[in-house]
Copies of this chain bind each other. A is one copy, B any other.
């Protein structure tokens, strides 16, 4: 049975990347050592982390005045690091578009930072991306947005204009799968375990003028210290960085971010169309706000959703169940997810609809 893994993260990786990692797992390029056994101060590993950074810079067209950091702790640690580094003594503005935005907001509040939620889609269960107010307080430290909402299946189609106030973005679930411009952000962060690599690595891209604004009481949480040490202040998650490097190489082979995003559009487009044409399944998300990478759908009947999930799982469709906070189904279609899996899911949905009194 072919397994299709719709996990929201940790998620499917390119098969070519896994095969490459497998082939050199005991002996990296004739070194006689596994990548996991390489000293982080060795020239072997230095080449890996430098290549990873260079490839990401190329893929995302990251300007020179942005630093690229390879950190740990996931987006959840960024919910603390962002306000700790950027908002001390200033107000931080947040856009509330779902579960992860709420965690970002509570992370800032826990630090005692003054938080203002300037837009929210909570009134309609986060089924759309709200407009930002026309006027943004230009004294604010930043405007925080979640570019793609993994659980709710919404995404910013375009990045708002906030004047001189830097936009800070949690891009965990659509990094390398969008046409945003890095220059439109002050800081971007992303947990690796969706479109980049294994869990345990967090990528931060930060504009240099935002670094070193304030003294940080915890060295590991200090962007400037991490930047000054090129992510080698202490031992970084070396193997995860190596896998990320292989993924970046793979994305490049797919025609870069433009090429892979085009594939993502085709994949998501087919599934959204099937949902539109279905008499049974529907999307809970407003059309203009739909995510390319996380596609939730429902029948409107919780029992039928449960039945669908059980039958889908038995047929090899893994991790299709929606997040426990929203129910239903969710197909996460990250870059490495194969289009054959989308077609197989659509065929399965049609069959299920027929079997359950559909058209």
Contacts and interface: CB of A to CB of B under 8 A. Distances in A.
Contact of A219 (B2, B18, B107, B238): B107
Interface in A214-268: 217-221, 233-240, 243
Interface string A318-348: 1100000000000000000000000000000
B80 A219 contact: yes
Interface stretch (A58-66, A124-132, A191-199, A297-305): A191-199
Q: Chain A interface mostly helix, strand, loop or mixed?
A: loop
B193 A235 contact: yes
B111 A217 contact: yes
A284 B22 CA distance: 41
Interface in A33-81: 33-34, 36-40, 42, 72-77, 79-80
Nearest to A2: B32
A33 B200 CA distance: 18
Interface residues of A, number: 66
B191 A235 contact: yes
B42 A319 contact: yes
A40 B10 contact: yes
A31 to B, nearest CB: 7
Contact of A26 (B15, B220, B243, B319): B15
Nearest to A42: B319
Contacts of A10: 36-40, 235, 238
B79 A200 contact: no
B32 A25 contact: no
A274 interface: no
